[in-house]
Structure 1
């Protein structure tokens, strides 16, 4: 892609998200979401392949539907209350429609069906943008309107997403679909605690972005898109293989890695709110996710071919890819647990 076009599209992505962050008016927020959607569509379709075009079409139709629902709900709310302010969604029908539309935008279950199929049709860097940056603006709107949302609806969305995200990834062999179900599960963890402690939602989002970025950049560096390809990574880069296995365990939420931090605080908060049954179900759903992360670790570390390769050792070839983003995201995905008090102070 032409670098000037790429810069324009990435700038538009930043503009759309910033506009949604800074807005208190529903029309401005809707406008930011539309800019975001229109900016990523050319990035998704840049590879002229039927699979990429199909994924782009599915994504565009889904996002357009969600945007239309948001516009209709905000217009309905303004018609009834006379207010366009995002903090004044007092009409229950409008608030429910807004939540449903934003859940469709970020792929919360049961509006998650587009997410694995779309992510599977994209290249890894565009998939990284879709899994991280594109979640920011809708999540900001959900956090801003959380006080008007029925708490039971948020709990159902969070619990369903965590269960679906764990269950759906069990039988997958395509790495991008596994990461899509991982995204659905992590969105569920963010939703379940939103009504009680929004700062923990922010903490979970930040750690999720670090861990997912490290995973996508590692797969990009090793050109792996299928489960079977992971068995050959060790011969190319042993150190990268070791850190990737740790990042996957961090995504699963195992201590002493960073991914344990948000799950620990969220389960503690749910217990303090008198919801031990919900906390137990969330912990059990996390075990489902942990299983398919362990499958990936097993494929990378315990299924190495016993035969000695006769080809040129690929790890001796110098890579031309930028290594700083991968190194930074990997360090953040693995080493933040010891500084948990400082991280909590930053987000609270």
Structure 2
């Protein structure tokens, strides 16, 4: 792609998200979401591969449907209350429709079906943008909405945790596994947003660092399936050492950074007198843990079948940037001791 065109598209992507962040009017927020969607479509279809074009088409139809629902919900609220302000959405019908539309944009269960298929058709760099940057604007609108239906939010969150765990169990494609991981993590964020929005933002920040580490590691070692992970130790021993830590951090195991948001969310649910929901949430994390352990096992304890006497392929020096990867891995693995400080800042 022409560098000028790419720069324009990336700038439009940032502009759309910034407009949504700074808006208090539903029409302005909707405009930001539309700019964001239209900017990423050419990036997604850049390779001109049939799978990429198919993924782009699915993504466009889904996002256009969600945007139309958001516009319908905000118009209905303005008709019933006379207010276009995001914080003044007081109509229960409009709030429920807008919540489901934003859930469709994020890929929350039960409206998650597009996310694994779309992510599978994209290259790793575009998949990283879709899994991280594209979650910011819809989640910011969910955080801003004042009167969310607790039953809808809890159901969306809990279903996403279960679907994210179950869906990834029989997958061998790494991008699909990370798509189901995204669904599960978004479930954790959504289930606590009605009680502590700042905790949702903390979970989102750590999820972005963990997912960035995973995608950049896969990009560096050129791994797209579980079988290709078995060759990573000979291509890049350092990456093969850190990738299991990234996976276990995504699973939420101590003493890694991914344990922090799950710990604080379970603590908040218990404070809100929801011990049953907290227990089910903790048990749902065990389902996700299984496929993270599968990836860890495939990378560290197995060797790819080979027919040549030499078990190691040629080890070439990578020309890809490793400094952002090093920073992301550091955030993914070492932040847990800062939990009391971060908790103090949030409260």
Determine the C-alpha separation between the residues in 1 that align with 2:3 and 2:18.
22
- Report Cα offsets for 1:105-161 as digits up to 9, x if no partner: 00000000000000000000000000000000000000000x311111110110000
SS at match of 1:173: coil
**1:224–1:230: 8 Å Cα contact kept in structure 2?**
yes
- In structure 2, do the counterparts of structure 1 residues 96 and 303 end up closer, same or farther at CA, with 3 Å as the change threshold? same
C-alpha distance in 2, partners of 1:50/1:169? 24
Counterparts of 1:200 and 1:270 in 2: how far apart (Å)?
Answer: 11
Question: RMSD of the TM alignment (CA)?
Answer: 1.3
Match of 2:244 in 1: 245
Across the two proteins, how many residue pairs are aligned to each other? 346
In the TM superposition, residue 281 of structure 1 has moved relative to its aligned partner by 0.6
Distance in 2 (CA, whole Å) between partners of 1:243 and 1:102 is 34
Structure 2: how far apart are the matches of 1:43 and 1:215?
Answer: 21
TM-score (norm 2): 0.97
Q: What is the aligned partner in structure 1 of residue 221 from structure 2? A: 222
CA distance in 1, matches of 2:42, 2:303: 39
Change (3 A) 1:77 1:305: closer
Q: Give the match's secondary structure for 2:59.
A: helix
TM-superposed deviation, 1:324: 1.0
Answer whether contact 2:235 2:312 (CA < 8 A) is retained. no
| Whole-angstrom CA distance in 1 between matches of 2:77 and 2:290 | 44
Q: 2:82 and 2:304 mapped to 1: Cα distance?
A: 68
TM-fit CA distance, 1:341: 2.2
Alignment-derived partner of residue 263 in structure 1: 262
Residue number in structure 2 paired with 1:273: 272
Q: Give the corresponding residue for 2:43.
A: 43
CA distance in 2, matches of 1:72, 1:134: 22
Instruction: State the alpha-carbon separation in 2 of the partners of residues 276 and 148 from structure 1.
Output: 23
Question: Distance between the aligned counterparts of 1:309 and 1:22, measured in 2?
Answer: 60
Aligned counterparts of 1:342 and 1:123: Cα–Cα separation in 2: 37
1:310 and 2:310 matched: yes
Which residue of 1 is the match for residue 191 of structure 2?
A: 192
- After TM superposition, list the pairs within 5 Å mapping 1:1-348 onto structure 2: 1-145=1-145, 147-305=146-304, 310=310, 313-315=313-315, 317-348=316-347
1:98 CA drift (Å): 0.2
User: Contact conserved, 1:202 with 1:347, CA < 8 A, in 2?
Assistant: no
Aligned-pair CA distance for 1:304: 1.7
Deviation at 1:310, TM superposition (A): 2.8
For 1:192 and 1:239, how far apart are their aligned partners in 2? Answer: 36
In structure 2, distance between residues paired with 1:223 and 1:134: 23
Q: Does structure 1 conserve the Cα–Cα contact (< 8 Å) formed by 2:234 and 2:312?
A: no
Q: Deviations over 1:27-83 (max 9, x none)?
A: 000000000000000000001111000000000000000000000110110011111
Residue pair 1:213, 1:329 contacting (<8 A) in 2 also = yes
Is the contact made by 2:227 and 2:304 (CA closer than 8 Å) also made in structure 1? no
* Separation in 2, partners of 1:320, 1:207: 27
TM-score, length basis structure 1? 0.97
Shift of 1:312: 7.4
Shift of residue 343, structure 1, vs aligned partner? 2.6
Runs of 4+ with deviation above 4 angstroms: 305-309
CA distance in 2, matches of 1:237, 1:52: 28
Q: 1:340, CA displacement in angstroms?
A: 1.4
User: Would the aligned equivalents of 1:69 and 1:101 in 2 still touch at CA under 8 Å?
Assistant: yes
CA distance in 2, matches of 1:289, 1:6: 36
Matches of 2:114 and 2:312, distance apart in 1: 41
- The answer as to whether partners of 1:203 and 1:344 remain within 8 angstroms in 2 is no
Q: For structure 2, list consecutive stretches of 5 or more residues without a partner in the other structure.
A: none
